[in-house]
Structure 1
């Protein structure tokens, strides 16, 4: 089973969108994205009611050999969430039972609007002869605009990241790149459109795992900058 949560989609077979339309290999865009915010701020707080079937503190459960607390990638993200002062996000990690290949499918799996899915997109920011990772946490309701990102990041251009580049800078499974738990800090932009949702869901270090947080939580966890990432 393949569940693609955040980061680059493995073997998705999706057509590459034209340059400036957000690169390729991530959850599809909604035909009717939510209204833009005029402020580049995230100000919501997480309030999650744990649903049946989600892991409880101190317990593990698994789906097809994927354990929310025993899998090393998920465990690393859970530990990073707790260490960063977000134990409620660590406790709320969920392993999805069904394959999801689009933001819409992921949203259906956790019963939220598609815009409440926080896609983790790793790009390569090119500045002269230097290439650095750039992480963009964007709403599943639209695609990030690479020309806009280049201006925000002060880069000559923004390229899509190759799988080996993603692994080098995140040490995470392709299709399950999380906003945190990386070997070193990565420059990050957080989509302000996520601010309208009381809870957003992001990848938890494995293609089958997601965790609940907020727009403000993503900014705090990543040290990222709230920004408009789509036109």
Structure 2
């Protein structure tokens, strides 16, 4: 297993999470690819997207079924500006590449907002540190794991 996936698996175990990291043969870099590989609805994929809220990295966990509404998400965070950083800044904040960013296993905790649309799914799939690794979870478990703030982000 890739070292990032091992880090995520360890973080999940230490937090008492129920799901195990699964490595896929197909890429799960996008929500559509992940949903196809897992045989689940695209909305059940929790995209982990890093943004800069007034210059500070934040994690937005959003349903793969839609795009982040930057204005609504900035308002939920109390930020005046929400921008997308370049790949090196994402890796610096998370230790993981774009397309494989997990909700957990980062060098330091990131403020996290979670899309309330993920509540529609009993099982939610999230990336596990690489574009080929995922883990099953739930909305409530993600809230607990990430100390996430529920919000409408899409």
TM > 0.5:
yes
The two structures, once aligned, show a CA RMSD in angstroms of 1.2
2:8 alignment partner in structure 1: 77
CA distance in 1, matches of 2:72, 2:85: 17
CA distance in 2, matches of 1:135, 1:98: 25
1:136 counterpart = 2:60: yes
CA distance in 1, matches of 2:67, 2:122: 21
Indicate which of 20, 31, 42 corresponds to 1:114: 42
Contact conserved, 2:126 with 2:134, CA < 8 A, in 1? yes
1:176 counterpart = 2:106: no
Q: Secondary structure at the match of 1:174?
A: coil
Indicate which of 137, 144, 148 corresponds to 2:72: 148
1:99 counterpart = 2:27: yes
1:185 counterpart = 2:137: no
Larger radius of gyration: 1
Alpha-carbon deviation of 1:78? 0.3
1:89 counterpart = 2:13: no
Alpha-carbon deviation of 1:194? 0.6
TM-score after normalising by structure 1: 0.64
Aligned length: 154
Deviations 1:160-180 (A, max 9, x none): 111111111111123211001
Using a 3 Å threshold, how does the CA distance of structure 1 residues 102 and 73 change in structure 2: closer, same or farther?
closer
* 4+ residue runs over 4 A deviation: none
Structure whose residues are more often helix by fraction: 2
Contact conserved, 2:8 with 2:129, CA < 8 A, in 1? yes
Contact conserved, 2:28 with 2:133, CA < 8 A, in 1? no
Q: What residue ranges of structure 2 are gaps of 5+ in the alignment?
A: none
Q: What residue ranges of structure 1 are gaps of 5+ in the alignment?
A: 1-66
Q: Secondary structure at the match of 1:89?
A: coil
Contact conserved, 2:63 with 2:115, CA < 8 A, in 1? yes
Deviations 1:96-147 (A, max 9, x none): 1123454222111101111000000100111xxxx10111000011001001
TM-score after normalising by structure 2: 0.95
